[in-house]
Amino acid sequence: MTTLSAGILLFLILDPLGNIPFFLSLLKQVPPQRRRWVMVRELLIALGVLIVFLIGGQFILRVLQLKQESVSIAGGIVLFLIGIKMVFPPREGGIFGPAGQGEPFIVPLAIPGVAGPSAMAVLLLLTNSQPGRTAQWGVALFLAWLATALILLSSTYLFRWLGESVLTALERLMGMVVVALSVQMVLSGVAAYLHPG
């Protein structure tokens, strides 16, 4: 996998377009002058969590005694479930359940809104399959996060400009791509397990 393809994969998994209505609904209770600060804080927390998984990925797998195949299959299953929810969103509460009251902190905007389990699984997979390319995966992660941050920080304008129906259509299209990627992750994990080496 190239740095560009890893960045695109991470961008699709971070799902900024699908997160726009989710972020806006959760930030309705926050005073307008604080919204941008809250979004920046949550995005930076999400980046920090993802960097921990990128740098400590191999250590985490060693401590938990997990093989690359199991991470690939588990990550694919989680990614599949998220992709299905993107294509067929629940009637109430969005992908990550009902919104809470007050100013959100870490959960659910940073985790799992941006730094979700599928993004963590992909980073574990990348660092374990090609550990010598951690710097390249870091560049891919940063570019995907930066694009996500720019879209989410512009969420109010994008929501007004594109409208809910266009954002929904884009999210469902991205969901189809995520479902296809998840199936590929599961198939790769099964193939690696059945034919090691």
Enumerate the domain spans of the chain. Answer: 3-194
Average pLDDT of the residues of the chain: 85
pTM to 2 decimal places? 0.79
H helix intervals, 88-154: 117-129, 134-153
Assign residue 102 a region: left if phi > 0, alpha if psi is -120 to 50, beta otherwise?
left
Look at 108 and 143; give whichever has higher pLDDT: 143
Digit-coded pLDDT (tens) for 114-155: 998 778 878 988 887 787 899 999 999 999 999 999 999 998
Look at 93 and 175; give whichever has higher pLDDT: 175
Digit-coded pLDDT (tens) for 48-74: 999 999 998 878 888 888 887 887 788
Residue 177, pLDDT score: 83
Residue 197, pLDDT score: 62
Q: In the beta sheet, which residues pair with residue 105? A: 107
Assign residue 65 a region: left if phi > 0, alpha if psi is -120 to 50, beta otherwise?
left
Q: For residue 107, what pLDDT band results from cuts at 50, 70 and 90?
A: confident
Share of the chain above pLDDT 70, in %: 93
> What CA–CA distance (Å, rounded) separates 196 from 190?
10
Residue 152, pLDDT score: 95
> What CA–CA distance (Å, rounded) separates 109 from 42?
6
Comparing C-alpha atoms, which of 99, 106, 97, 104 is closest to residue 46?
106
Q: For residue 181, what pLDDT band results from cuts at 50, 70 and 90?
A: confident
